[in-house]
Amino acid sequence: MKKALNTLGNYFKNFGIAFVKGDIWVKLSAVLMGAGYFARKQVINGIIMCLVEVLFAVLCIGYAAPNLAKFGTLGTVQFEQVFDPLTMTSTVNDYDNSFLILLNSIISLFIIFVFIVFYISNMKAVYRLQQKKENGEHINNFREDVRTMFNEKFHITLLTLPAIGIIIMNILPILVLVAVAFTNYDQQHMPPNALFTWVGWSNFKNLFTSSVTVTFGYSFKKVLVWTLEWAVLATFTTYIGGILMAKFINDKKTKLPKLWRTLFIIAIAVPQFVTLLLVRNFFADSGIVNTFCNSIGFTDFLKNIGLVPSNLSYIPFLTNPGWAKVMIIIINIWIGIPYQMLVATGVLMNIPEDQIESARIDGANPLQIFIKITMPYVLFVTGPSLITDFVKNINNFNVIYLLTQDVFVTSDQLLANSNAKEVDLLVTWLFRLTNEYYNYKMASVIGIIVFIICAAFTLITFTRTIKGDKEEEFQ
């Protein structure tokens, strides 16, 4: 933290130094960005800098200013349309679109931010040129500058495109999402017909408070608990299952190991949603599994021991909260194990055979070898992927949504009042809120919370597992 502050301090300090100690040309660069380059005979660089400055000015006036002017209110002019039945056309007023204003404002702010960074580094670069000249060092001409982009500075060239991609595809949408969490963007306030505006922290307050009618807080707690339960169970079961499966298939006594492995990989090759939808039908209340259980008397047996309510003639695999949760985890084991098995197979093949050999000579039995040598090794190698799996499971949309959508009906009225279900993960709840109820603001809030949970968890566990020099232990 301190380090980060220091770096930031130095960053501005160097800028100050450049400005104060620079000669007239450097100082002039503060106004005309190309000035410093012209003075050192880097004419093309100078022209480019000036062009950038002009472009920025044009953007500011033509694009950023009109949008940012409305950023505080997100627009005030409501959409209006008048239809003329004679000409069969309609005229539309010059209305404000809150979403476009928000989006464009954030892009504008981002451009301004980038420009400031660019501006500061330009000042420093110009000052460096001045120093170079004073020290009599060689100053690159444009051609040489371009060449460095393919040699010493090749990493910059390489990273430009991915960086732009990440900014457009990830950072800007995330910034918009964060901003939406502080607005009242929902079905009542949907552009272009209606305006939405800032509401501060009230959406966050709603999430954590339960009043009589708005049961968001209650639902949030329940959904969060199940999300964490699910993430732990799903990660743990498939992980252990995958390792055991890999171990069994790799065992010398197993016949046709390649066949078994291929069979499991076929399970991966079939698109997950097809499998899941099929499984959902298998386990439907009148599905094939229920018909079978009924005919062999298993349903009655479960009724007798009280696992199935007596008024049902079927096993509520995916329709009763308890049953559904167990089924979801079991089905997830079934579709998750092949992946873990593949990973584990690779790791198991890399365990130094001499270690196992020496353990065997020392008289260790297979179980001891597995616990004392195999597992620690596998855990060390796959530790980071275990953490990513956990985070992935927190956001595991497919399994839950495809298995329970249209099938599961909650019998908890308080959950129902905020459109949640017992089996919902935060992410499926979020999906339902946005997709079926257009509650973008609450969805954004939940999205932010999910992000915080995942980020916090990842940071803590990563620093714990990778900390120190554990690597040494396995050398």
Partner 1 sequence: MKKKVLATLLATAMVAGCLAGCGNSDGGAASTPATDEAAPAEDTAPAEDAAPAEDAAPAEDTADSADASGSPIDTLIANTTGTVTMTVWASEEDQDLTTKLLDDFKAAYPDVTFDITLGAESESTAKDTILTDVEAAADVFAFADDQINELVQAGALQEVAAHYTYDVAAENASGAVEAATVDGKLYAYPMTADNGYFMFYDSSVFTEDDVQSLEKMVEVADAAGKKIAMDISNGWYIYAFFQGAGLELTLNDDGMTNTCTWNAAGGTDVAQSILDLTASNVFVDMGDEDMATQIAEGNVVACVNGTWRAETAAEAWGDNYAATKLPTFNVAGKDCQMSSYSGYKLVGVNPHSANLGWAMLLAEFLTNEDAQTARFEARGLGPANLAAASSDAVQSNPAIAALAAQAAYATPQRVGGNFWSPAETLGQILASGNPDGTDLQELLDTTVEGITAPVE
Q: What is the footprint of partner 1 within residues 415-434 (CB under 8 A)?
A: 415-419, 434
DSSP secondary structure letters along 88-121 = TEEEE-----HHHHHHHHHHHHHHHHHHHHHHHH
| H/E segment holding residue 415 | helix 413-417
Site string for partner 1, 361-400 (x = CB under 8 A): ----------------------------------------
Angle made by CA atoms 464, 466, 470, in degrees to the nearest 5: 110
Minimal distance in Å, beta carbon 289 to partner 1? 13
CB of 380 to partner 1, least distance (A): 27
Question: Smallest gap, in angstroms, from Cβ of residue 184 to partner 1?
Answer: 9
- Each residue 81-110 as x (binds partner 1 by CB under 8 A) or -, in order, gives x-xxxxxxxxxx----x-xx--x-------
CA atoms of 57 and 41, how far apart (whole Å): 25
CB 100 within 8 A of CB 74: no
| Residue with smaller CB distance to partner 1, 10 or 91 | 91
| Burial zone of 64 (CB within 10 Å; 0-12 exposed, 13-18 middle, 19+ buried) | buried
Residue 214 near residue 137 (C-beta atoms within 8 A): no
| The CA-based dihedral angle spanning residues 335, 337, 341, 347, taken in that order and rounded to the nearest 10 degrees | 120
359 binds partner 1 (CB under 8 A): no
Binding track, positions 438-457, relative to partner 1; x by CB under 8 A: xx--x---------------
Q: How far is the CB of 347 from partner 1 (least distance, A)?
A: 24
Who's near 349: CB < 8 A, 6+ residues apart? 250
Nearer to partner 1, 10 or 170 (CB): 170
- Nearest CB to partner 1, comparing residues 274 and 371: 274
Q: Report the nearest approach of partner 1 to the CB of residue 286 (Å).
A: 5
Smallest gap from residue 326 Cβ to partner 1 (A): 18
Give CA–CA dist 229/343, Å, rounded. 24
The least CB distance from residue 346 to partner 1, in Å, is 21
Asked whether the bond before 192 is cis by omega within 30 degrees of 0, the reply is: yes
- Does the footprint of partner 1 cover residue 436 (CB under 8 A)? yes
Q: Which is nearer to partner 1, 50 or 109 (CB)?
A: 109
Examine residue 267 and tell whether it contacts partner 1 (CB under 8 A): no
> Which of these ranges, 6-14, 46-54, 254-262, 309-317, lies near partner 1 under the rule CB under 8 A?
309-317
Q: Number of residues interacting with partner 1: please give it, by CB under 8 A.
A: 72
Find the binding residues for partner 1 in span 170-189 (CB under 8 A).
170, 172-174, 176-177, 186-188
DSSP per residue over 281-340, as a string?
HHTSTTSHHHHHHHHTTHHHHHHHTTSS-TT-SS--TTTSHHHHHHHHHHHHHHHHHHHH
CB of 459 to partner 1, least distance (A): 19
Residue placing its CB nearer to partner 1 in the complex, 150 or 471: 150
User: Which stretch in 15-23, 26-34, 124-132, 167-175 sits in contact with partner 1 by CB under 8 A?
Assistant: 167-175
Give the relative orientation of helices 154-166 and 142-150 as an angle to the nearest 10 degrees: 70
Judged by beta carbon, residue 393 or residue 439, the one nearer partner 1 is: 439
Instruction: Give 30 or 109: the residue with its C-beta nearer to partner 1.
Output: 109
Q: Which is nearer to partner 1, 37 or 216 (CB)?
A: 216
CB 232 within 8 A of CB 432: no
Q: For residues 40-79, which are near partner 1 according to CB under 8 A?
A: 79
Tell me how far CA of residue 473 lies from CA of 356, 373, 377, 468, in angstroms. Answer: 16, 12, 10, 11
Per CB under 8 A, contacts with partner 1 among 119-158 are 150, 154, 157-158
Q: Position of tokens 């169970």? A: 233
Does residue 413 interact with partner 1 by CB under 8 A? yes
CA distance linking residue 69 with residue 76, whole number of Å: 11
Which residue, 234 or 442, is less far from partner 1 as judged by CB? 442
